[in-house]
Amino acid sequence: MGFMPSVPQLRVISLDRLCRHEEIDPLRVNRLVERIDADGIQVNPMICSEAPSGDLVVLDGATRTEALKKLGMDHAVVQVVDPGRITLETWHHVVRECGPDEIVAQIASTAPLTLAHNEFTPRIHTADGESYSVLGVGISPNATLSALVDTYTGRWRVNRVADPTIESVEWRYPDWCAVLELPTLTVEDVMKAAVGEDLLPAGITRFLIPERALRINIDLSLLHSDRTQEEKQRSLEDLLVQRANDGRIRRYEEAVFILDD
């Protein structure tokens, strides 16, 4: 997009080209379908990187991708980012409002998971001082993570944390019963998960994207029209030029705190 070098790379892409790296929650997808349909716009672009195979891997926006597909959209707007500029962190999970023995029993009774006394992740630390590694028998590491997350998701209250240390968790969540320390992943791991369809569970990857584009607010009527992809791309570029001329595009340098997300 040479006409406006300060704007991130935004592309109109066929939804069929997008590969998810993580599982989705059908309930969240359905809620988002209702909201997008009511608003009549795609608010934010999905964040994607190109895999060596040429596939576009969705790093952020799996729920949006599935919601737009369910609405019958042919295309969507994505922000394409260079994998080398991405920082990938892991979300760890704090489970609340249950007994430590309950969650340990739930994991131990779920095939093909088993608990072991070693130092490998994924690992569960309980409020009564117990600690176990969680192993999957005969399944991939990603499938192990998915099976583990399924044991508590929807059953008890779960919060995401960047710091899984007991001190940090106790300070933030005095009613915690267990913290699930999840493994460190790389961008390459995520790409392989998407292309190989060996998906990670939802809610564990945390991508820090430089110069993330927000609030594109593109009409669904454009994305669903019978225009070609190239015509839709030109319409997107014309819209961005018009917004720039109107002074409606802003770039923030400073860190921002969201106090009610």
pLDDT tens-digit profile, the chain (261 residues): 444 447 788 999 999 999 999 999 888 899 999 999 999 999 999 999 998 888 899 999 999 999 999 999 999 999 999 988 899 999 999 999 999 999 999 999 999 999 999 889 999 999 999 999 999 999 999 999 999 999 999 899 999 999 999 999 999 999 999 999 999 999 999 999 998 999 999 989 999 988 899 999 999 999 999 999 999 999 999 999 999 888 888 888 777 777 765
Contact criterion met (CB below 8 Å) for 18 and 78: yes
> What confidence score (pLDDT) does residue 3 get?
46
> What confidence score (pLDDT) does residue 179 get?
98
Task: Tell me phi and psi for residue 208, to 5 degrees.
Answer: -100, 115
> What confidence score (pLDDT) does residue 1 get?
41
Token representation of residue 179: 């913290």
Token representation of residue 32: 């988002």
> What confidence score (pLDDT) does residue 211 get?
87
The β-bridge relationship of strands 205-208 and 87-90 is antiparallel
Residues 57 and 193: their CA atoms lie apart, in Å, by: 10
Read off the amino acid at residue 206. Answer: R
Contact criterion met (CB below 8 Å) for 132 and 63: no
Residues 259 and 253: their CA atoms lie apart, in Å, by: 18
> What confidence score (pLDDT) does residue 261 get?
57
